[in-house]
């Protein structure tokens, strides 16, 4: 890990922390919630040893990157703008993209807005979903899954942060609760005040084999410095994103894509997702979708849970281009 280099880059009006290693064609890794660049540690080491330059930023609001105060500063236009500026700063015209969770959502927008800079995209967990012109996303989630669906509970500024602050051991306990879950989707939170707490008399969930105490402590240290508000603002910008992306309604994503998901992933097990991925809907919206890989017994944080397999999947795809 000490061979990974760290620097700060000025992009799109903010300072962005970037972790990188290697020489060669650039692979841009985009993390999700509640991860940091650190989620890609195995991929950075693996791909850099195989002739690639692995670049993994902390997105705005996360880790050692700047965290603007306003919710509107976390729109998809801002986030994609950050990444376009980062690619330009690297001195190349195109990069490979690997993304997970919220990072995948961002990468789908990057591919929609600026397909010219994406050689190929390896998507982990979250498939592309076209914009519904008839209903805003939060309203849709509330209608389908109810008020306690996690995205709905994340909407009001300060509320979920207050619940997180009530948990013992602060950020570490919250992260442990999120990172260790293997419940099927949809993710419905317990009643207010209980979302991230262990049941009375029960110990916190044990760490899985792929997540060490040192790993958890590193990520938690960043959240203890800055809190969760920046990352949560991504969810609070979802309706704003819907408004801003109206011009892209009905647009297909036309970059080469490989999609990988675990069959125990909370996204994949949410009603309707399996049917969409495997029934032709996904391929219709992403016509250059070349491979779909369903990993048996693997949950949401698949790049950490099965790093060697994911590294092999990434390499076998991007070496075609």
Crossing angle (nearest 10°) for helices 41-48 and 307-318? 50
For the chain, what is the domain count?
Answer: 1
Q: What is the distance between the alpha carbons of residues 273 and 293, in angstroms, rounded to a whole number?
A: 14
Mean pLDDT of the region 262-290: 97
Mean pLDDT of the region 263-275: 97
Q: Sorting pLDDT into bands at 50, 70 and 90, what band is 168?
A: low
- The catalytic residue among 31, 101, 268, 313 is 101
Q: Residue 63 has which token pair?
A: 């880790």
Backbone angles phi, psi at 249, to 5 degrees: -55, 130
Q: What is the distance between the alpha carbons of residues 274 and 251, in angstroms, rounded to a whole number?
A: 22
Q: In the chain, pLDDT over 70 holds for what percent of residues? A: 98
- The catalytic residue among 149, 235, 259, 268 is 235
Q: Residue 214 has which token pair?
A: 């040192």
List pLDDT tens digits, range 5-48.
999 999 999 999 999 999 999 999 999 999 999 999 999 999 99
17 is catalytic: no
Q: Is the pLDDT of residue 160 over 70?
A: yes
Query: What pLDDT is recorded for position 196?
Result: 79
- The catalytic residue among 17, 31, 78, 300 is 300
Q: Sorting pLDDT into bands at 50, 70 and 90, what band is 297?
A: very high
**Per-residue CA distances from 306 to 85, 215, 216 (Å):** 31, 15, 17
Cα 113 from chain centroid (whole Å): 18
List pLDDT tens digits, range 122-152.
999 999 999 999 999 999 999 999 999 999 9
101 is catalytic: yes
Query: What pLDDT is recorded for position 170?
Result: 79
Q: Sorting pLDDT into bands at 50, 70 and 90, what band is 169?
A: low
Query: What pLDDT is recorded for position 191?
Result: 87
**Per-residue CA distances from 110 to 6, 233, 245 (Å):** 24, 19, 12
Q: Is the pLDDT of residue 157 over 70?
A: yes
Residues in the chain: 321
Query: What pLDDT is recorded for position 198?
Result: 63
235 is catalytic: yes
Mean pLDDT of the region 172-185: 92
Show the domain range for 193.
5-319
Query: What pLDDT is recorded for position 165?
Result: 85
């Amino acid at each position: 890990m000490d061979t990974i280099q760290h620097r700060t880059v000025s992009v799109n009006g903010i300072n962005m922390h970037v972790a990188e290693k290697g020489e060669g064609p650039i692979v841009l890794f985009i993390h999700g919630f509640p991860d940091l660049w650190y989620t890609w540690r195995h991929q950075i080491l693996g791909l850099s040893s195989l002739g690639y330059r692995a670049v993994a930023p902390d997105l705005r609001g996360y880790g050692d990157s700047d965290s603007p105060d306003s919710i509107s500063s976390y729109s998809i236009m801002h986030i994609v703008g950050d990444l376009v500026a980062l690619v330009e700063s690297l001195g190349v015209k195109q990069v490979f993209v690997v993304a997970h969770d919220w990072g995948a959502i961002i990468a789908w927008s990057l591919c929609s807005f600026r397909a010219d800079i994406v050689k190929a995209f390896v998507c982990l967990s979250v498939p592309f979903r076209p914009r519904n012109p008839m209903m805003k996303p939060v309203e849709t989630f509330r209608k389908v899954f109810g008020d306690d669906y996690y995205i709905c509970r994340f909407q009001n500024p300060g509320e979920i942060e207050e619940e997180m602050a009530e948990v013992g051991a602060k950020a570490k306990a919250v992260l442990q609760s999120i990172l260790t879950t293997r419940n099927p989707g949809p993710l419905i939170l317990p009643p207010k005040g209980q979302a991230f707490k262990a049941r009375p008399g029960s110990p916190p969930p044990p760490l899985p084999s792929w997540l060490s105490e040192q790993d958890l402590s590193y990520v938690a240290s960043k959240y203890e410095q800055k809190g969760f508000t920046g990352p949560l603002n991504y969810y609070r910008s979802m309706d704003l994103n819907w408004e801003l992306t109206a011009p892209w309604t009905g647009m297909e994503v036309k970059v080469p894509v490989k999609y990988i998901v675990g069959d125990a992933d909370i996204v994949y097990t949410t009603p309707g997702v399996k049917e969409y991925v495997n029934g032709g809907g996904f391929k219709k919206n992403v016509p250059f979708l070349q491979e779909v890989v369903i990993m048996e017994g693997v949950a949401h944080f698949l790049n950490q849970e099965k790093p060697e397999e994911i590294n092999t999947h990434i390499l076998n795809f991007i070496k075609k281009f």
